[in-house]
Structure 1
Amino acid sequence: MEMAFTAQLLLLSSLFLQPVLALSQTNGSIAVGGSLTATAEGNSSSSWLSPSGDFAFGFRPLGNNDLFLLSIWYAKIPDRTIVWYANNNPVGAPAAPLGSTVNLTAHSGLVLTRPRGEELWKSENIVGVVANGVFNDTGNFVLEDDSSKKLWESFKNPTDTILPGQIIEREGNLASRQSETNYSNGRFQLQLQPDGNLLLNSVNFTTGSTNRPYYVSATTKGTVPGSEGKQLVFNDSGCIYVLRENGGKFALGNTRVSAMAYYTRATLNFDGVFAQYVHPKTFSGNASWEPLWSLPENICLDIDADKGPGVCGLNSICTFSPADKRPKCECPRGFSLHDPNDLYGICEPDFGKNSIEPVGKRSCPSHMGEWIAVYMQVATAYIKFRKDNSTRPVPPSPSPDDKKNKQTTFLGVRPVISATALVVCLVLIAAAFSLGLYFTFQKKQVRIMQSGLNINLRPFSYQELHEATNGFTEELGRGTFGVVYKGIIQNGSQVQVAVKKLRCVKQDGDEEFKAEVNVIGKTHHKNLVRLLGYCDEGQQRLLVYELLSNGTLASFLFADVKPSWGQRIKIAFGIAKGLEYLHEECRTPIIHCDIKPQNILLDDNCTARIADFGLAKLLMMNQSHTHTAIRGTKGYVAPKWFRNMPITTKVDVYSFGVVLLEIICCRRSVDVENNCEGKAILTNWVYDCYQEGKIDAVLDHKTEALHDKKNLEKSVMVAIWCIQEDPSLRPTMRKVVQMLEGVVEVHAPPCPSSYTSSA
């Protein structure tokens, strides 16, 4: 009796322990012959876990319990986010029906089959014999031979997501899915090209070809040997960067993530946005993924007409949400989604969904009257223009009523027409005439948008801006290019703007003005101030910019309370990145010609944003290798510029060097009120301190930079290289960025000039 009871107890114990043993199964190791089955309950036979249980490999239901996706997902968070899935390129992920299995085989590795044995997918390009599978805590599923050599791994076959520890080699890519729930291949891809460039572009389904990229890392072979990209690396600290051949790093996002506290991933979303996310490992309540950064910064603006189709469907309006760094699509007034379940799909006119009421007694031409009524509704609908979508709606198919009433004579008009019907006909003819004028105007506007100004720039009348600025009463600042006023415009809500009244603009250069404003409008970078609109009306030419909350760098640096050393370095690096973009990443290089703290603005996060770029050329400066009549700002301009020498991008490098010293020292470049004559000219004084080995003297002794002397000395040396009187000795802004990043060694600089005080 006692033995029987013991046997029953052991049996019950084994039944209770079976799920636990299955979950902790083989500590991440799976032997050849192991298999999983897609079951409705999603129990332990449907997945294998990594040793920590952070990741699961197996079957996930696709919306219901009839179809499943073979995938890898985060197992400990509520939404079970998928980071990899079996993918039959170029089609996409195969849907596995209930009862499908995945087997680990010796010669084909992982093989996914339907219940009746038809193969759906298998791990490709395996050379050798698989001994076992290893599921790591990094989320990487690896197939090894008996000597632990890797024969296949999920990290080398990515889908739309990369994880810490994962590397993408040249010609490797990520492909977006079609939607959040459709794992077929989508319209966007991220690729590290053979030349080392990291690109984001859209893909044409019919041809498989790619459109012009809407993001480019510009990590190709440049002036610095080995500067081309070698790998896209997601390191264990959560940093994502393009590793260059020479060991340098081009960071996609300057973030570090605690692996102890957070999960992190980077995903090419179905809407074309590549973003890095974090999720707390320990949480209570409704924890979710939070975005750290995204590429591009605003996809609604960065995909223009020559870069393929936009994010949103026909007639839909694209708006970007800074909070989740994702685009949203909405139909304009008078339109609604063709498919309510496809939020990114086509918007169609509401009048096309129901037949239209008869006009009068249908004495007028039935089809003509009804179509005029249709287009009258189009004319009154609120149609917004987008650069990547159609500018007008598609007319609906004629209603069944249009096909009736064949017993009409000329144009369907009956022999007897009542007076009321005649009046209605005359009204409709007038409406048709007005409609013709409307669409003629629209076509003209489209031509203007296509051939001239960036379609995202809003044209303002002078009267609008006069009212927006309350008669140009609140002045924010004035400089080389004009006076800036504070204003408020209505854009669904009240938006604060900075309105710049330009001076010295050539009045008969309409086409040149539009061309240059177009260039400025298309120039987008996180370290540049964004242009929102313009006014070109007679003698009045104004530009409308976003208004940044923290004012100018000058007011930040030269106030009584000084910024921290960390803030100073962040600001300096941001300015350098903005100038690098203007000089080397724009289609036509832009020379600023007036870099100074008053032209650097700070946003809510104290990120540096360069203002007034492109205005030197707009004010009729012929920039590249030419002489110029505009002299910039004394103290920030290289001495040779005053000697009527050719102007190149090295002009901005000199100005940046001066600004960098001002940021380091938190004082102005020229201080005529300084009691010590040797300190009046900042560039001379700092170089003297550097030569004498007294670099600490340039700092406020309360700053924490005194504990970071190595970084302080590097920053000062970079600045001295930038202010060399001989332009050929100054580095490019790309090299300046690399030196500040620590990618390129900074050598001891020579004396800038014997008489730099002449500036």
Structure 2
Amino acid sequence: MASKYALFLLLLVLYRSASCDREHPNSIGLGCSLFPTKHPTSWLSPSGHFAFGFYQNGNGFSVGIWMMSEAENTTTWTANRDDQLVSSTAILELTPDGKLLLRTDSRNSKLIASVSESASYAAMNDSGNFILYNKDHRIIWDSFSFPTDTLMGGQSLSRGAALFSSVSTTNRSTGRFRLEMQYDGNLVLYPIHTLNTSLDAYWASNTWGNGHLYLHLNSTGALVLINNTDSRVSNTLYDGSSVFNKSITYRVVLDSNGFLRLYSHSFDHTYEYKTSLEWSEPDDKCTVKSFCGFNSYCTFDDYQPVCRCLPGTNFVDMDEKSRGCERNFTEEWCGDSGRSVSSRNIVPMENMAWDDPPYSLAEMREDDCSKSCLEDCYCDVALLDSDGYCKKQKLPLNYARRDPQASSTAFFKVGFEGVKGKQTGGTTPEKRPTVIIRTKDATVLLLVVTLGLVMWSFIALAISGFFAFKLRFLEYRKLLDRGDIGLSEELALRSFSYKELKRATNGFKEELGKGSFGAVYKGSLSRGKRIVAVKRLEKVINEGEREFHAEMRVIGRTHHKNLVRLLGYCAEGSKRLLVYEFMSNGSLADLLFRSQRRPDWNERVRIALEIAKGILYLHDECDAPIIHCDIKPQNILMDDFWTAKISDFGLAKLLMPDQTRTFTGIRGTRGYMAPEWQKNNPISLKTDVYSYGIMLLEIVCCRRSMEVNVQRPEEIVLSSWVYRHFEARELEKLVWGEEIEKQSLEKLIKVGLWCIQDEPALRPSMKCVVMMLEGITDIAVPPCPTASSL
């Protein structure tokens, strides 16, 4: 009996497996299942360019379609996008009775596709369309009929349908914008949850009047409006290519920031890809309505759109500025007269405009418009347009913008910051007690008492100030006599004598290390209360003390949390010494290459970002840009809290021409030097970017840029080894044995490869590096560094 039961189970399994076999070419049979974390997780198209199945979405999983080349950034469709994310235990099944079902647990399930009849099989096409067929091979459901934020080549947007943007590239839920193919034939971009009115629209095809149009993206990349009655092209938004190329796929997406963009994706036989932006609307990024929220306006910073609060308001959420701004002072209570009952100020702003309708419109002069709003407690802002009309409005403003072409002035009513809120109409503001003076004698008495109190206050302050000054002066004299004046973060850069520093270091006894500019010794000031690091400069340029003092003042003015702070210096005769804050946890090189504990991934990402911000400060935020010339892990020191700080900045110009680490006439360290050093080309800020890129790859892989003791010769040069694995999409081999989010790893590898490009013009600025690391800027696929840079 037991053997018969076992045979029955075996036959059942074989039947289930056979039912999942593909009865038609490239088809998915009934009974097939997908899983979020174990094989199979997806069903591929015949070419392997597209996949349907589970993908990582934030902290959970969603069911959708994506391009296999770059799944994180090219999701083209998501099922039930606003539903709760599923866990790793979910199952997606094409059931034996022909239903596409998502099972979240043993009791709960949900249909992915609602169909009136049972499916016989399914297919994932190379166009990016997932299709269910009945037994007659007729389509009963396909993903192209239910677009989310994307149209693929060959897909249409029918009359009355809309694309809805995603929240972000990592959150595919419904976002803040929609593209609607209206019944009147007009294709229009709106903020979500708005009426179909011109007030809310921020871009349109201007094709109204023909109610039979639908939007279509064909396989050559042409984006057209087609007349449904005769199938003729009525309007062309983008021409596309005149020749069909099966290795190029086109995609139109409504981005999370409200822009409608058309991309081309070029695949070759090795599945490598190239993504290009072909078309985008609108051209002016600040014309996107609701790009910024209520009471804020869009402007440009370094050619990038940013949101600013209107006067008298603050951001609701500094981390999510698109949520808008709110009033930062208590709103006035109007009373019965409607006139202002409390003191307010008016702040004017030029070139402001908005589309919100006013509650009052009158022809006035500029002073009268400002005064009228100030006295009217219902008025929060007044706009004086170019025609001389004063438009008064209450907050919130929906679509405010800064328009350089607008010759208008806005007058914002602002007040003292306080409790945000609104006094109810049933109560009146609390009145201050009124002091009534009834006689002349009482007035004289009040004046005498007031003057007496004021005089005694001045006398007390003068006496207190005198004694405080004497105490400070005596304390300072005592410190001078002892010769060990303590340093604090608030004091300016101090000039030490050589004798003081020799005594502080106990005759330069304890050497901490030796760097590019000389040896470093441990010392103490303020009777051992302050530990410092004293660097003795060797072979510096023989310049006068005045010039050296000037250089030290420049370095001393650099203050950043990711720079080692210079506390003081010594310049006596030929002796040149620098006094730095003491860094207790050694260098980044010790942490990466010599420590028994490899820092975890989040710690390495934090350190990489801190170093980038320090270099950005040297390049862009100092009075004069500082090129470090020797960025490497040995020059990155760690403080008590394991914060990364850059050392030896600003000292390169002090070296004599023959004082080098590796080559005569070159400053830097082999392995970190940009190619322009060896070509005798002028150096620039991009020289530090190259060195940072090499160090970033070291931080990612926790190994040196040059390793001789490796298993295979191709692993000797780190940058070459990294690019090979990046090209082969085998990044997990770079961090073998670690649980690391693939998206984060790929981001750091891309940034590092961009930084080590042989041509300086191809390397990003440190500002761009910081933005890419923080996820503010998208990162393109880096080209292969040349042989000289590898």
TM-score bin, normalised by smaller chain: 0.3 to 0.5
Which TM-score applies when normalising by structure 1? Answer: 0.44
Which TM-score applies when normalising by structure 2? Answer: 0.42
Structure index of larger Rg:
2
